[in-house]
């Protein structure tokens, strides 16, 4: 199965970790369990969505930081890989998210074989809190599906409004990705920087 993805992808983070990403984009020891599509490097085709992720990363940061968005180029595709693609929100998509969101221990995974790359919509609502409610109230996947496809005010959204995420779940994609540059939010605006290591190699 061949997947044609956009050449540029975006990752929201903080400016304090840029140097680490310049050294290596995919470092599984930093990937956290309990996320929508499991442990991995989360990107999106939307720069605006990545900016939202960046601001959330700052809110969670234990040290002073500024929002930062990495611009990543997908330069090639591995010869063989195991993809999982969700074209829109669906019960199967919701079940996949629920199964991975309820994993709290790093290295554990509900999949027999986790996909190398997962592509699909994001849940719109506060998924973490909804997962806790589902577990505490012993709700099923149908209830979870209904909750995560609504805004905080209860309005139902379709997949075009939910946003998109492309998750690299294996370090074998490292050679296929290139950090082009990064934008840091400072003084009320986003300031773009070319990746220094790329400039030096020219």
Output helix, strand, coil percentages for the chain, rounded to the nearest 5.
35, 25, 40
- pLDDT means per 10 residues, the chain with 202 residues, are 76 96 96 93 94 93 94 90 89 89 91 94 69 74 76 62 86 95 95 74 38
What pLDDT does residue 33 have? 93
What pLDDT does residue 55 have? 95
Within 8 A by CB and 6+ apart from 102, the residues are 34, 131, 135
What pLDDT does residue 154 have? 63
What pLDDT does residue 62 have? 87
Query: What is the rounded distance in angstroms from the CA atom of residue 60 to the CA atom of residue 163?
Result: 21
> Residue 99: which H helix or E strand, with range?
helix 91-101
Confidence (pTM): 0.86
What pLDDT does residue 133 have? 78
- For residues 122 and 165, is the Cβ–Cβ distance under 8 A? yes
What pLDDT does residue 199 have? 43
What pLDDT does residue 197 have? 56
Instruction: Kindly report, residue by residue over 84-102, the tens digit of the pLDDT.
Output: 999 888 889 888 988 898 8
Place of tokens 């680490």: 20
């Amino acid at each position: 199965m061949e997947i044609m993805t956009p050449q540029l992808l975006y990752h929201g983070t903080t400016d304090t970790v840029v140097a680490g990403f310049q050294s290596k984009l995919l470092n599984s020891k930093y990937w956290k369990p309990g996320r929508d599509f499991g442990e991995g490097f989360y990107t999106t085709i939307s720069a605006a969505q990545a900016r939202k992720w960046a601001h959330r990363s700052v809110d969670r940061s234990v040290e002073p930081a500024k929002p930062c968005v990495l611009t990543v180029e997908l330069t090639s595709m591995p010869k063989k890989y195991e993809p999982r693609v969700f074209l829109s929100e669906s019960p199967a998509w919701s079940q996949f998210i629920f199964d991975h969101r309820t994993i709290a221990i790093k290295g554990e995974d509900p999949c027999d074989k986790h996909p190398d790359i997962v592509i699909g919509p994001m849940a719109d609502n506060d998924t973490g809190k909804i997962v806790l409610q589902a577990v505490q109230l012993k709700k099923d996947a149908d209830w979870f599906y209904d909750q995560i496809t609504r805004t905080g005010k209860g309005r139902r959204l379709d997949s075009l409004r939910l946003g998109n995420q492309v998750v690299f779940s294996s370090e074998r994609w490292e050679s296929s990705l290139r950090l082009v540059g990064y934008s840091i939010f400072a003084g009320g605006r986003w300031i773009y920087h070319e990746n220094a290591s790329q400039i030096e190699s020219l």
